[in-house]
Amino acid sequence: MHELRDRRVLLCVAGGIAAYKTPEIVRQVLEAGAHVRVAMTPAATRFITPLTLQAVSRQPVATDLLSAVDDATIGHIRLAEEADVVLVAPATADLIGRMAGGLADDIVTATLLATTAPVVVAPAMNTRMLAHPAVVANIERLRSWSHRIVEPDSGELACGVEGAGRLPDADELVAEVAAALSEQDLTGQHVLVSAGPTREALDPVRYISNRSSGRMGYQVAAAARRRGATVTLVSGPSSLKPPRGCELVAVESAAEMNEAMRERVTAANVVVMVAAVADYRPTTVAPSKIKKTDGAAGMTVELTRTDDVLAGLARARGRRVVVGFAAETDDVREHARKKLGDKRLDLIVANDVTAEGSGFDVETNSAVLIDRHGNESETGLVGKDELADAIIDRVVGLLADAASGGRGRLEKVGQ
């Protein structure tokens, strides 16, 4: 996530069993290009050693508020001033209570009182503790101070209880840290994103599909959510984990994709149609598996055109911003400009899927972005997360243009 490049992240670790996940959090933050310092409560050092986190962070770990060495430079103040963002993970009931009470009796709480950086808090504890009125009230108090609260996952806890209270995986926590550093320029907007392939059944075990993995659409959804939008992600079959905080609607066929998008478009201000929807489907679906026929030279499958999901959404657009994608193999700009005009889009994102690093199921992409005014820009080969943010940048500009009268004022959601 490029938001983290060269940024300084302070990880505050409390004394809970979920502290075992912190080396992976540090590793992924470093992998994203950030610098990491770690501060630990006394209880945290009994679950994982400071030496472990020092080794993975490549920085000294702060554990003692009254250290003779660190206190010479007022260690907790230095930690607080250096941090661009603070992640508290795991945040135990005890630490959350001391944060809410304004205490400063260890290196972590003292640093948290001194920082002006955004604070991301990831509660992790027993389900009953999490539901206790005191813990609920303390979390709400932190939320009222604009701390970003990461809701815990549900599942089997270390104590054997099933329920909410698990610390989310490292990738999800790192995404929340990136969101805390992102400009919140889509706050109040509802973004509807489609992603992935569709599958058109031939018989109960076979289907026609394409090579889309859903990566680009999932990155667009994640970027919109990081920047403050409410996001609905309508996805064809994909092995990817959906971005945290996005509503996921799983579909399979082009018809299901069309229905799901049409049902949800009235609630959206922005539609980004990334999905690689099948253009054709088998005219008939065999009720049982089609058997191989001995001696037969071949088999013919009759195909029928599927509904054009993007064209239908564009016709029913109202004053919404509608973005389309064009995966091409030749004459990329010409095909993209034609699709932009024919479907009355606000923006089209086109790429040559035969180019190295720019096709399906890879982490990178290279695209040309063309808007309804004819403005054109090339991204070069970039990570799909960076391309997603470039697309959202253009969406934000189109929203501002529409709000100022460039294409009429945006309609209210639901109209």
The residues annotated with a catalytic role in the active site are: 159
DSSP 197: B
Run of H or E residues at 382: strand 376-383
> Which residues are CB-contacts of 80 (< 8 A; sequence separation ≥ 6)?
10, 111, 112, 114, 115, 116, 117
User: Nearest-CA neighbor of 364 among 347, 374, 351?
Assistant: 351
What residue type is 314 in one-letter code?
A
Residue 140 half-sphere exposure, CB side, CA atoms within 13 Å?
Answer: 7
> Which residues are CB-contacts of 31 (< 8 A; sequence separation ≥ 6)?
none
Run of H or E residues at 100: helix 93-100
- As a 3-state breakdown, the chain gives helix, strand, coil percent values, each rounded to 5, of 35, 25, 40
Q: What is the greatest pairwise CA distance in the chain?
A: 88
DSSP 4: G
> Which residues are CB-contacts of 363 (< 8 A; sequence separation ≥ 6)?
215, 383, 384
